[in-house]
Amino acid sequence: MWMMVGALGLVACVWTAFGWFTIGNAKRRVWGGLFSLSMTCLFAPLFLVKLGEQYGFVGIQVGLTALFGVLAGAFFFVALGWTGRPAKVRKVRTLSEDPDLF
């Protein structure tokens, strides 16, 4: 039980620090979230096997809970960064600027 509380606390602290690091920088938030997703998907099997060998079924439960928190945070920051990125401003042409427009 305490191991799960500690793992979730660590995940929450890491995502809080990452959020502070990316305040006002949507591009960094997107790239950081994508990096977290890729590293999590790459190393999750090794992480779960190691926890299963060391702590048994409880270790797998803690590992899956921590991985869910990491994946949820990564998706959250990718979505938050994607919606917060600056939109491209299109120049609106008027008839006085371009008579051949119509």
pLDDT tens digits, 63-86: 898 899 889 988 998 998 888 877
Domain containing 53 equals: 18-85
Please, where are the H alpha helices in the chain?
2-21, 26-55, 57-84
Work out how many domains the chain is built from and give that number.
Answer: 1
Query: Rounded to the nearest 5°, which phi and psi values hold at 7?
Result: -65, -45
Whether residue 73 lies inside any domain: the answer is yes
pLDDT tens digits, 25-40: 888 888 888 888 898 8
Whether residue 64 lies inside any domain: the answer is yes
Q: What percent of the chain stands above pLDDT 90?
A: 12
Whether residue 99 lies inside any domain: the answer is no
Q: What pLDDT score does 49 carry? A: 92
- What is the mean pLDDT of the segment spanning 33-53? 89
Q: What pLDDT score does 53 carry? A: 92
